[in-house]
Amino acid sequence: MTAPLWTAAEIAAATAGTAATDFAATGVAFDSREVGPSDLFVALTGESTDGHRFLPQAFVQGAAGAIVSDATDHPHVRVADTFAALNDLGRAARARMAGTVIGVTGSVGKTSAKEALFAALDRSLPGAVHRSVKSYNNHTGVPLSLARMPRDTRIGVFEMGMNHAGELAELTKLVRPHIAIVTAIAPAHTAFFPDESAIADAKGEIFRGLEPGGVAIVPYDSPHRDRLMAAAAPYAARTVTFGLTKGADVRAIEAMRLPTGGSFVTAQIGERELSFTLSQPGMHWVSNALAVLAAVDAAGADLARAGLALAEMGGLAGRGARFVAPGDVLVIDESYNANPASMRATLAVLAEEPGRHLAVLGEMRELGDASDAYHADLAGPVLAARVEAAVLVGEAMAPLAKALEGRTQVMHVADAAAALGRVKALASAGDAVLVKGSNGVGLSRVVAGLGGGT
């Protein structure tokens, strides 16, 4: 019989809490809507809601027990602070894990790289690899992902994000990675940083949590490479670079686009070469794949099997998933998030598609005083992608609408509902439609309205 993820006694010991009764949990959740049979429900309290209100719902859905700070008749462990307890539980999960832990961050590509890395490692160690789900990469998501890690996990892969300096320094102390990856540095959350160098410094905080003998993996082609390497130097026993140019420790010798939209890549990994098919389109995905191979190699896993996994990866909802909508329209779903770098990368992917090109582009948020310039600067990539009609969503898209005026068909709308109506009226058989914007714009509703499953 498989051991439970957590017993009431283990939870109490980890959190300095008091168990009301014995119970055993096979999962952990802090969103009552996600609670399943035998899960542990953590009743977090915040400014806008209190998880204790949802205790009845959690137990109706099959919760085995709960972590609470208020009195309840349900099976529970009572603590002084449920958020601190979630961190304690994550810390305890990490402490009992005897395998290899990999941390992933970056301005762009971290979720995609995390999922690709999981697929590559799971091919070698099926059922023994654990990773963060969704984009659970912040101060609540990271401890939750740790707390969900099975006790017999051999490799754990954890995504870490931030939008302020100092946040990654705290998260990486929880994760304590043996291998730490920075995928890329690009303008993102610039409202909170004076420049890109400051973003690089904040991302470089991930190296502070490296375990002794740890490996830092940094992008060779980044203008901030040396800055990242300097950030890693006090903490990493070894730094490995990845990139598309000569000099990188892990580099693409060649990358040829395939008729299927992906790439055939020959990579040099130290003294070895690996040729593989990459299912995902775009040079940004080639870069992601090189970072993945660097981490697989550092973890001592099978590179050839990793290559097979990269060939079989499907697109992630909101991050490159593709489907053919009714009427024979190709939809490229990049609706989850956007910043200037990822906008350019996905527009370059659209440029390679046959047929007429349409783009539904939502505003990019948290760009601060430079927001207008960043939006206007997308005019070049939009035109280079041969976009014949651009549906621009949100007030911040006004500078791009102005920059494109008279150069291609432009429709500037207020919200996702209006965007869906416009693109439905425009799209016809053989068209390729890119949907991309910051998550708060809600362009997943456009994807769903076109027939997607996000």
Specify the CATH number of the domain 97-312: 3.40.1190.10
| Helices and strands of the chain, counted as H and E runs | 16, 22
pLDDT 10s digits, 132-176: 987 788 999 999 999 999 999 999 999 999 878 899 999 999 999
CA distance 411 to 396: 14
The CATH superfamily of 6-85 is MurE/MurF, N-terminal domain (3.40.1390.10)
> Who wins on pLDDT, 317 or 206?
206
Quote the pLDDT of residue 135. 74
- The confidence band for 317, taking pLDDT boundaries of 50, 70 and 90, is confident
From 243, 238, 432, select the one nearest 347 (Cα to Cα): 432
| Residues of the binding site for ATP | 106-112
pLDDT 10s digits, 64-87: 999 999 999 999 999 999 999 999
pLDDT at residue 443 greater than cutoff 70: yes
Identity of the residue numbered 284: H
CA distance 419 to 64: 44
Domain residue extents for the chain: 6-85, 97-312, 321-449
For domain 321-449, the question of CATH label 3.90.190.20 is answered with: yes
| Residues of the binding site | 106-112
Six-digit token string for 262: 């992906």
- 432's enclosing H/E stretch is strand 432-436
The helix/strand/coil state of 36 is coil
The helix/strand/coil state of 233 is coil
Rounded to an integer, the average pLDDT of 364-386 is 94
Please, which residues bridge with residue 335 across strands?
none
From 414, 437, 445, select the one nearest 365 (Cα to Cα): 437
What DSSP designation does 214 have?
-
Spatial strand order in the sheet of 387-393: 321-325, 329-334, 432-436, 357-362, 387-393, 409-413
